[in-house]
């Protein structure tokens, strides 16, 4: 990947891939593994040995949805530890050769006459976790000021959303109609790369305006799109609270919502595959839950000893320890890194060059945050806006000392979330009437405390 800069005076620019690659359909895998984040096997309504149908909800009635993407028999139910120690309930299914769809999934006959709650419920039942993970009760939906449908991929080597714009503009338009009614968004914005503005053609019906964005990283990240396209803050679920006002959905997923018109679940997704040995990324169409090894075998890509397998972005993603890692509903890209390209962090001190601060899209003092987190001084990380970090990876990418800056700040964010409640006494919590027991995270692009916020006594 190229980094371009002007005599190293201006921050470097990372161009994104803008290729055309019609997705290659992959055969049905022999086995899939469905991952359910922050859940345990006790939350499931099925057991090993049970037969399941495509579209069947495997979760207990009092829990949110885990939708089967295949028909077959459950081989094993286990606990899987994901990135940053996040626990998953894992359901392994031996796949039958033909789909038998769960009859409980009813087709949405008319979007215009359907209520927003019924559409949300249909999307939840179909397995669209980007919505159900935000609010698992269709009747209790947050206010959405703007819905941004984006054809910019979050990974600089990802081309799935771009290709959806090229191949399926009608599906995107129908998906916008579904999402506009379901989310009750006040306005719809379509974000497209500048080079694909002609491919977008006319403005999709239902969209208020089209925003052309340079095909540069990190313009495709949801936090950046929410700020630049809508002037808002990304909708996120933080514990029991939902913050923000802007929802961002990829073009590929927007087009996929049309499956509810046929009474079918979200079964497949397009994944961009890139490799150090291949000149350009390609798209494949794969069943959700299929192991990454199936994709690599189909494309004849070999994993090398001491190389890396990276999911969801070479800058923002995470490395996998095994190619048996399954494709999830939010897996947008897979990168196979050769040993010669693997980046090794070093135990070196910060040189105060300022490159990390110059490139940070959220205007954080990254060098100070990295030092405070490295030595566990987390009470100084919050006033510097650590919770605003979007973990784009640019700071670590340009750091000449090869410091693991993203990991440092991510660790600080986790420490802030887990320590805040224990640091505040009940008397202090009751005395804070402005913002509740804990002060809210700082808004994007703000590095100072919110006006009127009650100061944390532990930071004085």
| pLDDT band at 455; cut points 50, 70, 90 | very low
| pLDDT band at 9; cut points 50, 70, 90 | low
Please tell me whether residues 197 and 228 are part of one structural domain.
yes
CATH of the domain at 332: 3.10.20.30
How high is the mean pLDDT of the chain? 86
Note whether residue 55 is domain-resident.
no
Q: What local confidence, expressed as pLDDT, does residue 445 receive?
A: 37
Strand-strand pairing, 146-150 and 246-250:
parallel
What is the spatial distance between Cα 227 and Cα 231, in angstroms, rounded to a whole number?
Answer: 4
Please tell me whether residues 235 and 309 are part of one structural domain.
no
Strand-strand pairing, 87-95 and 51-52:
unpaired
H or E, element range at 429 = helix 426-431
Looking at 261, 288, 318, which one is the last position of a domain?
Answer: 261
Note whether residue 18 is domain-resident.
no
Residue 193 has pLDDT above 70, yes or no: yes
Provide the token pair at 395. Answer: 């700071």
Contact yes or no for 273/293 (Cβ under 8 A): no
Please tell me whether residues 244 and 279 are part of one structural domain.
no
Question: 267-271 — which CB contacts under 8 Å span 24+ positions?
Answer: 267/54, 267/69, 267/70, 267/99, 268/69, 269/160, 269/327, 269/329, 269/331, 269/332, 270/23, 270/160, 270/163, 270/164, 271/160, 271/295, 271/327, 271/331, 271/332, 271/333, 271/334
pLDDT tens sequence across 233-268 = 999 988 778 999 999 999 999 999 999 999 999 999
Share of the chain above pLDDT 70, in %: 87
Number of domains in the chain: 3
Q: What local confidence, expressed as pLDDT, does residue 451 receive?
A: 43
| pLDDT band at 454; cut points 50, 70, 90 | very low
Give the mean model confidence (pLDDT) for residues 43-59.
97
Residue 7 has pLDDT above 60, yes or no: no
| Helices 116-126 and 169-183: angle between axes, nearest 10 degrees | 120
Please tell me whether residues 325 and 310 are part of one structural domain.
yes
pLDDT tens sequence across 319-370 = 888 899 999 999 999 999 999 888 777 778 899 999 999 999 999 999 999 9
Biggest CA–CA distance in the chain, Å, is 64
Give the mean model confidence (pLDDT) for residues 176-182.
95
Domain that holds residue 375: 355-459
CATH of the domain at 152: 3.40.50.11540
Please tell me whether residues 249 and 272 are part of one structural domain.
no
Measured in degrees and rounded to the nearest 5, phi and psi for residue 298 equal: -65, -35
Looking at 261, 284, 308, which one is the last position of a domain?
Answer: 261
Q: What local confidence, expressed as pLDDT, does residue 367 receive?
A: 95
Residue 392 has pLDDT above 70, yes or no: yes
| Maximum average pLDDT range among 134-143, 162-171, 204-213, 256-265 | 256-265
Looking at 291, 311, 341, which one is the last position of a domain?
Answer: 341
Residue 217 has pLDDT above 50, yes or no: yes
Give the mean model confidence (pLDDT) for residues 52-67.
94
| Maximum average pLDDT range among 147-161, 201-215, 401-415 | 147-161
């Amino acid at each position: 990947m190229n980094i371009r800069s002007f005599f190293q005076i201006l921050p470097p620019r990372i161009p994104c891939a803008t290729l055309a690659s019609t997705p290659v359909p992959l055969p049905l895998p022999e086995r899939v593994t469905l991952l359910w984040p922050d859940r345990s096997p006790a939350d499931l309504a099925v057991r090993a040995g049970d037969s399941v149908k495509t579209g069947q909800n495997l979760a207990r009635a009092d829990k949110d949805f885990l939708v089967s993407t295949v028909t077959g028999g459950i081989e094993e139910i286990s606990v899987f530890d994901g990135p940053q120690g996040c626990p998953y309930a894992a359901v392994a299914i031996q796949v039958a050769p033909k789909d038998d769809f769960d009859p409980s999934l009813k087709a949405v006959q008319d979007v215009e006459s359907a209520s927003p709650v019924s559409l949300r419920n249909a999307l939840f039942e179909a397995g669209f976790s980007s919505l159900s993970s935000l609010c698992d009760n269709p009747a209790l939906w947050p206010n959405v000021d703007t819905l941004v449908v984006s054809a910019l991929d979050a990974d600089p080597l990802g081309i799935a959303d771009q290709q959806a714009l090229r191949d399926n503009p009608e599906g995107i338009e129908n998906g916008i109609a579904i999402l506009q009614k379901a989310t009750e968004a006040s306005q719809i914005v379509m974000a497209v790369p500048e080079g694909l503005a002609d491919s977008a053609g006319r403005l999709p019906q239902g969209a208020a305006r089209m925003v052309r964005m340079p095909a540069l990283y990190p313009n495709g990240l949801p936090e950046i799109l929410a700020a630049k396209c809508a002037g808002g803050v990304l909708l996120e679920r933080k514990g029991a609270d939902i913050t923000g006002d802007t929802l961002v959905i990829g073009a590929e997923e927007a087009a996929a919502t049309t499956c509810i018109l046929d009474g079918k679940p979200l079964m497949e997704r397009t994944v961009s595959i890139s490799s150090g040995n291949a000149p350009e990324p390609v798209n494949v169409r794969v069943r959700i839950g299929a192991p990454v090894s199936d994709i690599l075998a189909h494309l004849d890509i070999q994993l090398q000893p001491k190389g890396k397998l990276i999911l969801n972005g070479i800058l923002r993603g995470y490395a996998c320890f095994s190619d048996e890692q399954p494709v999830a509903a939010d897996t947008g890209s897979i990168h196979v890194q050769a040993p010669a390209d693997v980046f090794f962090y070093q135990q070196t001190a910060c040189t105060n060059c300022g490159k990390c601060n110059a490139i940070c899209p959220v205007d954080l003092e990254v060098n100070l945050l990295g030092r405070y987190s490295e030595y566990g001084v987390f009470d100084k990380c919050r006033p510097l806006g650590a919770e605003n970090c979007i973990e784009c990876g640019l700071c670590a990418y340009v750091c000449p000392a090869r410091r693991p800056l993203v990991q440092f700040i991510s660790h600080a964010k986790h420490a802030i979330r887990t320590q805040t409640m224990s640091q505040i006494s009940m008397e202090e919590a009751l005395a804070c009437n402005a913002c509740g027991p804990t002060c809210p995270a700082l808004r994007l692009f703000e590095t100072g405390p919110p006006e009127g916020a009650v100061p944390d006594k532990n930071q004085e």
